[in-house]
Amino acid sequence: MKYLNGLKLRSISKLALMVTIGASVLSACSTYQPTLGAQSERNKITVAQTIERLELYAPASGLKLSARDSDAVSDFLYQYAQTGQGPLYVNVPANAAQGLGVRQTQSLLNERLRAIGLSGGALQTGQYPSRPGVPAPVVVSYRRLATVPIDCSVGSNLIRTFNNQPQSNFGCFQAANLAAMIDDPRQLLAPHEFDALPAVKRTTTIENYIKGEPTATELPDRQQITVNE
């Protein structure tokens, strides 16, 4: 029997064997847990093109809009001015293309567009097939970008937390709420351009002052009024 620092070598060998067997048992019981990526990668906010449309029934006798419908037209055109891309499409039924109601609808759209600073050139008129004698609406539509709704359904048991891993849909509702609050989805594709920093503006003003150039903000050409005697 050999001794090392007062301990039996046989006892040390048995202890090492037991530690090795215990580690093997624990490793056999463990299962592979994939590491989830970043939350922003799992729940990406995507942007897609969508079509907004408004239907206006314009009979041959003339266009008759209630106060509520008139406000809906104004709101629709305002949203087009804010987020619309491309022309404003006006599709009229073929069987009523020359009717009084259709002409009044087109005049109303032109008038409302001018009221918000847009010209009638934004309109693109077309026709679609319709059955004679059957009321058909004038369809006004435009394209815009919108965020795609995110499906945050729970597909696993939230109680199973023994593996100390986040759920696969962790952070999904945060991304969904953020997507719903974005007013202009184009900001996700490309950020808006920033104006010059105040420090840069001050430097430009000082340089103009040294050169003897005007430092005041340039005003547009004022109207000159002359009185002929």
Strand partners, 8: 3
* pLDDT tens for each residue of 82-139: 888 889 999 998 887 778 888 899 899 999 988 888 877 788 889 888 888 788 889 9
C-alpha distances in Å from residue 106, one per residue of 36, 101, 166, 229: 55, 9, 56, 48
Q: What is 31-65 written as a DSSP string?
A: ---PPP--HHHHS---EEEEEEEEEE---TT----
For 6, the token pair is: 């007062």
Question: Domains of the chain, with CATH numbers?
Answer: 47-147 (3.30.1330.60)
Prediction pTM value: 0.58
* pLDDT tens for each residue of 164-182: 666 767 778 888 888 888 8
